[in-house]
Amino acid sequence: MISTCVLKFDIGIQSLRKYISFLEQLENLSYISPNNLNSPASTFLLQFQVSASTHRGDIRKFEYNSIIVSLYGLLENFIEDLTEEYALRLAQITPNYDDLPTALKEAHISLTAEHIKRTAKDGQFRNTNSRQLVANLNSCLDLNQVDYHINSPVFRYHTANFRHNNIFDFLSCAGIPYSHSALRNNVKFKNYIQNINQGREYSSIPEDSLFHILDDLAERRNHVAHGVESDLLSRNILRDDYLEYVDMFCKTLFDVTLQESLHHEIKNLGIDLGKPLHIYRENIACFILQYGSFSVNDHITSYNADTKCIQHGEIISIHHFFKEKKTISAPYRSSTLICVKISFKPSANAIFSILHNEFQ
């Protein structure tokens, strides 16, 4: 299951928040009277205040530039990580290369060829990396595709800046379809957008407004990179508007991609439990296990056909004929009644599947 990219992104976002908070604390030193301190501290503080006042404009510009570049870098790196991680995960859980999404296969060939072409221009075609790229591609195109290896790093490659349309096009190349509409219809994203638009009806908010901050961040990053003068946003706006928006956008995009990944995981690896026979105490569901085996702490998913959403969590406990089990298996050529306690509230109309921990 994909997860590394969002953990890495969250660490970066938290670090940037701390950096902005530090800058605010540093600025507060300008309002402390040196007369209230002992001589060495008073001298140092006075020197600091004079320097901060003299170079205030340059300091503010540098702070703005560093926050803009850092925030855009977090966004760009997250999108690249997410795409590579998703492509690699699909390859890991799909036994035959031909069964991968068509868009992913087409992009894999063209991006691998492009990467080899770039390294060839640099006189590096004979290096180990290029040889491995060719070998991996051959393993995918070979008639015997059982033991194939995709070149997942090539899915990081792009030439355009990450404005919102470029992001959705980039994701579609890795076989992540409908990310645009799925993100727009995500409940958390809709609530966030309505909140920053003072409760305005979501359907009345134009496309440009939904992604204005994202596109403006890319433009501002270009200005900084090329030395173009632009209006400097305050720390409050950068933190409360831009940083919070990028945080919400990326984590919503992760949820959308995780949903797509889970569809493939269930299809290729899942043990089908069907709909629950009964639900007790909100998080205990009864099923007929017809095949396979699973254990406590394995993952369980539920797919709701009405909302087309997948919930996922862990199995907390398993019960069979009033006895608690660590592992349960369906009898040979038979089925058995089981009850499982799970980490989320199950729906009676959802279809459940088990995903073993070793596949995660």
- Sketch out the chain's domains with CATH numbers: 4-267 (no CATH), 270-359 (2.40.30.10)
pLDDT at position 309: 87
Each residue's pLDDT tens digit, 142-193? 876 678 999 999 999 888 899 999 999 999 888 887 788 889 889 999 999 9
pLDDT at position 52: 79
Length of the chain: 360
Tell me the pLDDT band of 218, cut-offs 50, 70 and 90. Answer: very high
Least-confidence region, from 40-54, 141-155, 213-227, 308-322: 40-54
pLDDT at residue 326 above 90?
yes
* 333 to 81, 289, 291, 330: CA distances (angstroms): 44, 11, 8, 8
pLDDT (average), residues 321-328: 93
Tell me the pLDDT band of 305, cut-offs 50, 70 and 90. Answer: confident
pLDDT at position 311: 93
Strands 299-304 and 309-320: what pairing? antiparallel
Distance, in Å, from the CA atom of 265 to the CA atom of 90, rounded to the nearest integer, reads 8
Q: 184 vs 126, which has greater pLDDT?
A: 184
pLDDT at position 123: 56
pLDDT at residue 2 above 80?
no
Distance, in Å, from the CA atom of 245 to the CA atom of 192, rounded to the nearest integer, reads 9
Distance, in Å, from the CA atom of 142 to the CA atom of 349, rounded to the nearest integer, reads 43
Helix (H) or strand (E) holding 315: strand 309-320
With contact defined as beta carbons under 8 Å apart, do 353 and 293 qualify? no
Residue 84 contacts by C-beta under 8 Å, 6 or more apart in sequence? 152, 153, 155, 156
pLDDT at residue 360 above 60?
no
Tell me the pLDDT band of 358, cut-offs 50, 70 and 90. Answer: low
Tell me the pLDDT band of 259, cut-offs 50, 70 and 90. Answer: very high
What is the pLDDT of the chain when averaged over all its residues? 90
pLDDT at residue 124 above 60?
no
pLDDT at position 126: 52
Tell me the pLDDT band of 242, cut-offs 50, 70 and 90. Answer: very high
Residue 170 contacts by C-beta under 8 Å, 6 or more apart in sequence? 79, 83, 158, 162
Least-confidence region, from 67-71, 123-127, 189-193: 123-127
Each residue's pLDDT tens digit, 128-147? 478 889 999 999 988 766 78
3-state secondary structure at position 311: strand
pLDDT at position 48: 81
pLDDT at position 1: 64
pLDDT at position 179: 81
